[in-house]
Structure 1
Amino acid sequence: MASIEHLTGHTFETDLPARLDRLPWGRFHTLLVVALGITWLLDGLEVTLAGSVSGALKNSPVLHLTNSDIGLAGGAYLTGAVIGALFFGWLTDRLGRRKLFFITLFLYVAATAATAFSFSLWSFVLFRFLTGTGIGGEYTAINSTIQEFTPARFRGWVDLTINGTFWLGAALGAGGSIVLLNPQTVGGDLGWRLCFGIGAVLGLVILLMRLWLPESPRWLLIHNQPEQARHIVEGIEENFRQQGHELSPPSGRPLRLHARDHTPLREVFQTLFVTYRQRALVGLTLLSAQAFFYNAIFFTYALVLIDFYNVPYQSIGWYVLPLALGNFCGPLLLGRLFDVVGRRVMISLTYAISGVLLAVSGYLFQQGILSVTQQAIAWMVIFFFASAAASSAYLTVAETFPLEIRALAIAVFYAIGTALGGIVGPTLFGHLIETHDRNYVFIGYLIGAGLMLAAAVVQALWGVAAERQSLESVARPLSQAQD
């Protein structure tokens, strides 16, 4: 069967998506995951540095930041991520995945390098905002590209594992802060500035790694470039054959598509909030809950350690490492269950467990029962489940909306969720910690726990069972012709 069969006008039939889905896992997929999934590592690095260097920023002879200032900078980073996701998400669906994941990474590199040269509160806030803009744009281009190349039967585990690499970045940030904030090595005002240089150097390496990546064939198909899409898929298949793989014929009927230049914004919002309004509610709830849960706690965890446990700011990194380990292992070890047991059960379960554990540990914190080591262990256990839950939120939004608006759908729900949960969270927790009253901090923990439990209920009622299904069967392409 021909991979592209032209019918009338701009209508054609193709089996290219089915051919991508039937591929075995191979070197191509591994390289794709490394080159693109590194985005999550960068975000983990940035968020961890924001927490790990907070003590150094407060003691900086140039910046003199307060707890509220640090919360403001965290909010600025997330505000930038919201704006970047929306703007670059729209461009990603319009101009292509490949162009945008170069543009957004370049912006990130420039902004995080500039952060190292901050000279005042407002310069620091501005550079954090621009760094967030680059990361937000990365999410939309990267998540849509990975979804569109990964075979359906691996999609859940791959997506969760990639999102879990956020915590490799967290470990890198923690390790870097341990070395660079130590007065015996660097320390002082120079130490925290060099910490932000880690991201810039890493970003430049990643730019080179991405040069070999092709455009998404699925994106090319709906933008009237079927021959280029065919060429890319045939090249991938040939590499598999050269490696000794025997490829089975694609299953199912070919897709019949109408080529289009772009999708009007009116159709985008009609699709998101009318046609798929129930899916929109699920995605919004999941992303908002995890954004508050994560950003409120993680942007300010160093302040809790410093203000309530008297941990020296130079030692904060040691407490991040076990937390990062729990967060990375969660998606890695639980990820396969999202493909085997199913999305509905596993997403609901991980959200519910995270909420209950946070409420319990928050009560123990409020009562002053936990030592600093016990507090670190409690966070490690909580985030083992919460990391899988948060990763599944991005998976849900990326795979349950049509191809033509996938990047913008990720952007819209990431932006709304982050605005509701992520920007409010760090600012609120910064003020709660500023009171130095455990009762007020406990209230913040209860809010986070309640949001996670509510999200678990919404997912259980209306979540989509998308495991092991092609993207086109989970959400019919807007450009698909009627049979």
Structure 2
Amino acid sequence: MALKVLSALDRATTQLYHFSAILISGMGFFTDAYDLFCIPPVSNLLGKIYYKKDNHGMLPIQVKALVNGTALFGALAGQLFFGWLGDRMGRKKVYGITLKLMVMSSIASGFSLGCSRKSVLTCLCFSRFWLGFGIGGDYPLSATIMSEYANTKSRGAFMAAVFSMQGLGIIAGSIVAIIVSKCFGTGYAIPSEKQQDMVWRIILMFGAVPAGLTYYWRMKIHETARYTALVAKNARKAAADMSKVLHVDIEEDEDSVLSIESLEEQFGLFSLDFVKHHGLQLLGTTSTWFFVDVAFYSSSLLQVDLYRNTGLLQKSSEYKNPVHEVFLSARAQALVALWGTLPGYVFTIFLVDRIGRRIIQLVGFFFMSAFLFALAFAYKHWVNESKGGFIAIYSLIFFFTNFGPNTTTFIVPAELFPARLRSTCHGISAAAGKAGAIIGVLGFLYASETNDKNQDPFGVGENDHPRGIGQGDALIILAVASCLGFLCSFLIPETMGRSLEENEVQVSRSTDEVELQADFDKHNLI
């Protein structure tokens, strides 16, 4: 048996409040994706404006690494901090802080000012770090809130729907870049330097709009019943809050309330008991998220360079109108998102509660590895003879990333761990992913720097002589990372079809856990 309020949530039919929770949580991910992935079309414009007279109008490799990477560093820190804070202060209290940070930092990014290019770009990187800090906090909080609000039958689909807003955010970022660049001129008439400067500022500042629109509704959401009952140990308040949400009368028995309040605090995160009961699961969630983000963010944030090498876009130095380059880069990014990214999310929503998280993750990693190896080993063939085939396979990689580990790594950590540690463990898992993203993006940028400064960072043409690795070698590394993610996926148990409390007990097989389960059963807690 369970606390009545938790049973009511687990067994509830799909209702309006589920869709409200999806929208409220998902808009944070919409904003996250917009802010993180609007930077590829913008970064080359920054080079044209601030390095027009030197470095061939391109950002130096160190500056490009900072522009692309500071938000990722901020996200890693935010995931750890806000994940921990969500288990200490409650999900709702912390939820609004992350949106405030995103709104203010998006606006500040557009208002990056200074008397020199160094000061402007320093302000931009500073603002994007704090933008990433807010984005990072959204991961554990959104996942935990949605998992604790959802019913058992559809929990995976609801969480996948929240995460799928990332795909819409990527497309929205591309659409805004397309519209803004069109407004400032993409034809033969080259916009003035002042107009070019306005383009990137407007694109970055627009990220404040969806975050600002969501803030009011986030403040109206109730604290989750699982936090209130199991962490704050106030079952009566949890029942009262969920009575309003579910529109039914829920009243907890006095014995259940007293039992919740009298339970001793269980083991903490930094304890041998945690390692004994959940250590392998945390290793599984962190390692798989790490490896998928090495591949996903490297491919996503550096895809503009890849488009040039396949001929979908010209070399950056060949564009006379920098704003037109923004337009074409954003359009190419939107097409890949529409062909591969978004359909992958849709398939996950419909199948994750039918075939399970682990199968989808294993299938995703397998096909990511296969397609990445296929591109890498025949790289010259695809680039020189079958560019359309290259883009088709590249889109399939994004499809199986999202109908696969990019989505499941978000879902599983919010289902495995105890309520008192759920947000923290999700934050740790997500932070491992961002560490993978940082290594992938910055490592490949530096490794692929060429001797010829007039070439793009991934110089792989026949006349190029790269000092580091080439694009084909980089794809092999991404394929190996995907293979390692496939193997680490076996550390994670299946979480489909069970309540969060059942998952917590299921992954622990020790005598202590059996005794704990018996104690909980005695008091009608699970």
TM-score range, shorter chain: 0.7 to 0.9
The separation in 2 between residues aligned to 1:113 and 1:370, in whole angstroms, is: 44
Aligned 1:173-192 pairs, distance under 5 A = 173-182=173-182, 183-184=184-185, 188-192=196-200
Pairing 1:15–2:23 present: no
Q: Is the 8 A contact 1:358 1:445 kept in 2?
A: yes
2:425: which partner in 1?
409
1:126-153 CA-partner distances (Å, limit 9, x unpaired): 1111110000011111110000001111
CA gap of 1:176–1:371, structure 2 versus 1, over 3 A, is: farther
Whether 1:320 aligns to 2:321 is: no
The counterpart of 2:497, out of the listed 468, 471, 474, is 468
Deviations 1:147-205 (A, max 9, x none): 00011111112222221210100000001111213441785110010001111122110
Change in CA separation of 1:272 and 1:378 when aligned onto 2, cut-off 3 Å:
farther
Structure 2, gaps ≥5 residues long: 53-57, 114-119, 315-324, 451-457, 461-468
Structure 1 residues 262 and 52: CA distance shift in structure 2, 3 A:
farther
Match of 1:350 in 2: 364
What is the aligned partner in structure 2 of residue 110 from structure 1?
A: 104
Residue 41 (structure 2) pairs with residue 39 (structure 1): no
> Does residue 19 of structure 2 align to residue 26 of structure 1?
no
Query: Counterparts of 1:62 and 1:200 in 2: how far apart (Å)?
Result: 28
- 2:375 pairs, out of 361, 364, 386, with 361
Structure 1: tracts of 5 or more residues without a match: 2-12, 242-246
Whether 1:379 and 2:394 are equivalent positions in the alignment is yes
After TM superposition, give the deviation of residue 350 of structure 1 in Å: 1.2
User: 1:300-349 CA deviation, whole Å, 9 max, x = no partner?
Assistant: 11122246634334311111112222212112123332221222222111
- Distance in 1, matches of 2:273 and 2:335, equals 42
Instruction: Decide whether the 8 Å contact of 2:22 with 2:161 is kept in 1.
Output: no
User: Please, which of 223, 226, 234 is the counterpart of residue 225 of structure 1?
Assistant: 234
User: Which amino acid in 2 is paired with 1:235?
Assistant: K
- SS of corresponding position for 1:434: coil
Native 8 Å contact 1:97 1:145 kept in 2: yes
Does 2:490 correspond to 1:457?
Answer: no
* Correspondence for 1:48 among 37, 43, 67: 37
1:225-374 correspondence to structure 2 within 5 Å = 225-238=234-247, 257-258=260-261, 266-268=268-270, 270=272, 272-306=274-308, 309=311, 310-311=313-314, 312-325=325-338, 326-367=340-381, 368-369=383-384, 373-374=388-389
CA 1:260–1:362: 2 relative to 1, 3 Å: farther
Matched, 1:388 2:390: no
2:445 aligns to what?
430
- Determine the C-alpha separation between the residues in 1 that align with 2:335 and 2:459: 26
Q: Which has the larger radius of gyration?
A: 2
Measured in 1, the distance between the counterparts of 2:146 and 2:131 equals 22
TM-score (normalizing by structure 2) = 0.81
* RMSD over aligned Cα atoms: 2.9
Q: Structure 1 residues 398 and 360 mapped into 2: Cα distance closer, same or farther (>3 Å)?
A: same
SS at 1:475 equivalent = helix
User: Are 2:65 and 1:71 equivalent residues in the alignment?
Assistant: yes
Total equivalences in the alignment: 460
Q: Which amino acid aligns with 2:408?
A: S
With over 3 angstroms needed to count, the CA separation of the structure-2 counterparts of 1:281 and 1:58, relative to structure 1, is same
Letter in 2 for 1:61: Y
Change in Cα spacing, 1:338 to 1:201, as seen in structure 2 (3 Å) is closer
Shift of 1:366: 4.2
Task: Return the offset for 1:237.
Answer: 2.4
Contact kept in structure 2, 1:39 and 1:138, CA below 8 Å: yes
Measured after TM superposition, the shift of residue 93 of structure 1 is 0.4
Amino acid of the structure 1 residue aligned with 2:50:
P
1:214 aligns with 2:222: yes
* 1:391-422 residue CA offsets vs partner (Å, 9 max, x unmatched): 10111111111111000001112112321x11
Whether the aligned pair in 1 keeps the contact of 2:373 and 2:475 (CA below 8 Å) is yes
Summarize the Cα distance change of 1:146–1:35 in structure 2 as closer, same or farther, 3 Å threshold.
same
Residue 92 of structure 1: CA displacement? 0.5
Aligned to 2:453: none
| Cα separation, partners in 2 of 1:93 and 1:360, compared to 1, 3 Å | same
Partner of 2:169: 169
Match of 1:199 among 207, 217, 223: 207
1:231-268 CA distance string (max 9 Å, x none): 112112217x9xxxxx9xx9xxx89635689888x545
